[in-house]
Amino acid sequence: MPAAKKSKAKKTRVAIFDTTLRGAEQCPGAAMTTEEKLTVAHQLARLGVDVIEAGFPYSSPGDFEAVQGIVREVKGPTIAGLSLCRPEAIDRTAEALKIGKQVRLHVFLSTSPQHREWILRKSKDEVLEMAVSSVRRAREQIAEVEFSPMDASRTEFDFLCEVVTATIDAGASIINIPDTLGYALPHEFGDLIRRLRESVPNIENAAISVHCHDDLGLATANSLAAVINGATQVECTVNGLGERAGNAALEEIVVILDTRRELKRKFETGINLKEIYRTSRLVRDVTGMPVQPNKAIVGENAFAHSSGVHVDGVIKLLQRRSSFEIVRPQKIGREKSEIVLTSRSGRKAVKHRLSELGYALSPEELESTYQRFVPLADQRKRVTDDELESLVADELRVAHEIYALDYMHVVSGGTTIPTATVRLRRNGDVSEAVCSGVGSVDAIYRAIDQLVKLPHSLVDYNVSSVTGGTDALGEVTVRVSDRAGTVHTGRGSSMDIIEASAKAYLQALNKAVFRAEGRPARRRAKKAAKKGAGRAKKAGRRK
């Protein structure tokens, strides 16, 4: 008889409870208008979250209106409102929610000895009675009630079990266990969830949720430890925003559950991963809270490679990037990985990027270009495409060696008319010009124009600081348009912004001059390839 097929084990569905609209707004400076909250809520629905905690209706009329508006307009997720364990707060929250069919009233109350003594100033019995009566009041008005014993991770275990048991009996169908101050360690928090499941007699009548803060950088780890030990709902925020150091990051939780095979075999969420990056950017733009570049999953550098070893691995395994990419950027809605050229990038990275830009260099040209790349990369945070092309031009005796800055002197200040003396060198010939202008930069540019006789116009001039302090390294970017309308970019950096301005302007003009007088390497390579093909064809005919 053929062996019976093994049936696949049913996965546990982990509900994603998003509290960006409530918890993230407690992050200083991240407040949102009613319209902005509605926009984010619609995107969260597209993302596929199970629950949207829309706000704290009792806190203000604006929050009440925002919650009511989201209940009315956003379809798909359950919409929750948070409430204190006070009759007036519960009634106000219920009023905001009751116009909807798929809603949840979430009540919370501190239970730890620290909070009981210093905040509530109540005994255990008084706290227990408040929790039970509040859940009952909420349950009378809204069918689905969630209860959170605030600071649960620091609450005496026996008392925590007593509160959980009593609130489930009172009608709570979801019990949320918060690590309110982000104090727990993963093994402790996972063990707490396991022990609650084993010790609370009626725990089967409620789902266990967790709400972790990131004060010690452990919110994601603690949330995962809880899931592994039986929690079936995770409360989190987009980009990990939240009070103090923030909350568990939604994107980290769901991508980890999808990426680690041993977890993916056991757990699943309803999140549309392709909407993660878009949601992250929307929350960033609406709240005005930047995403740190090295933020996991959604940071700008999350899929950027610069180290020579890493870049080499990515280039070799363009189809299979598991060597240095455990998550494909397309999975979360990003276009592709980025190879960033820095001082740690190797020859292969430089060659790969030049190839993408259309340059075909000989081994000797590539090596010489790389030797010029290294000192530039040491000075820069990253080397841009324009700068890389300038290096190629330098090596192939184009842009850099057409006109070189040999000397510059500027007189300015007070009632003195700004005057610049500039000396340029071209093919060993030196020429000098002295010009005045409305300012130091204008005087320098007029002098350079007098020496580089090429019709052009200055399109853009931008100054930025690369470093901080009074000795900051300033970077100037200019764009000039030649007679044909082609725009050429030049960059220059120096602790003297006047010098940086001259370098940037001259670099842009060198590109324009070269376009007018010569051909770039890519054209030369194509021509060489064409000649080679012609020779091969003739040789074939002779045969």
- Would the pLDDT of 397 be above 60? no
In a domain, 129, yes or no: yes
In a domain, 525, yes or no: no
In a domain, 529, yes or no: no
Split into its structural domains, the chain has a count of 3
User: What digits encode the pLDDT tens for the residues 24-49?
Assistant: 776 666 677 888 899 899 999 999 99
Q: Which residue has the higher pLDDT, 284 or 139?
A: 139
- Would the pLDDT of 516 be above 60? yes
- What is the structure's pLDDT at 287? 81
Strand partners, 493: 475
75 and 130 part of one domain: yes
Q: Which of 345, 365, 395 is the last residue of a domain?
A: 395
- What is the structure's pLDDT at 487? 77
The one-letter amino acid code at 229 reads: N
In a domain, 405, yes or no: yes
381 and 413 part of one domain: no
100 and 236 part of one domain: yes
**63, 159, 65: which is closest to 109 by C-alpha?**
159
In a domain, 483, yes or no: yes
E strand or H helix at 106: strand 103-110
Q: What is the CATH number of the domain that holds 63?
A: 3.20.20.70
User: What digits encode the pLDDT tens for the residues 517-532?
Assistant: 754 444 554 555 555 5
240 and 353 part of one domain: no
471 and 373 part of one domain: no
63 and 185 part of one domain: yes
- The most distant pair of C-alpha atoms in the chain lies apart, rounded to whole Å, by 104
In a domain, 523, yes or no: no
- What is the structure's pLDDT at 491? 76
Q: Which of 233, 258, 287 is the last residue of a domain?
A: 287
32 and 68 part of one domain: yes
For residue 12, name the pLDDT band (cuts at 50, 70, 90): very high
- Would the pLDDT of 358 be above 90? no
129 and 204 part of one domain: yes
- What is the structure's pLDDT at 314? 44
Calpha distance 393→386 (Å, rounded): 10
Q: What average pLDDT does the structure give for the chain?
A: 83
**232, 212, 190, 200: which is closest to 51 by C-alpha?**
232
Q: Which residue has the higher pLDDT, 137 or 282?
A: 137
58 and 78 part of one domain: yes
User: What digits encode the pLDDT tens for the residues 427-476?
Assistant: 889 999 999 999 999 999 999 999 998 899 998 898 876 555 565 567 78
Q: Which residue has the higher pLDDT, 303 or 279?
A: 279
390 and 404 part of one domain: no
97 and 140 part of one domain: yes
Mean pLDDT of the 243-266 span: 92
Calpha distance 543→374 (Å, rounded): 48
CB 114 within 8 A of CB 142: no
Q: Which of 259, 287, 315 is the last residue of a domain?
A: 287
Neighbours of 316 (CB within 10 A): 12
Q: What is the CATH number of the domain that holds 512?
A: 3.30.160.270
- Give residue 362's domain range: 304-395
pTM over 0.85: no
3-state class percentages of the chain: helix first, strand second, coil last, to nearest 5: 45, 20, 30
Burial class (CB in 10 A: 0-12, 13-18, 19+), 80: buried
Strand partners, 13: 268
Dihedral angle of Cα 382, 386, 390, 393, to the nearest 10 degrees: 140
- Would the pLDDT of 333 be above 70? no
- Sign (positive/negative) of CA torsion 139, 141, 142, 145? negative
373 and 442 part of one domain: no
Calpha distance 424→401 (Å, rounded): 11
User: What digits encode the pLDDT tens for the residues 45-69?
Assistant: 999 999 999 999 998 898 999 999 9
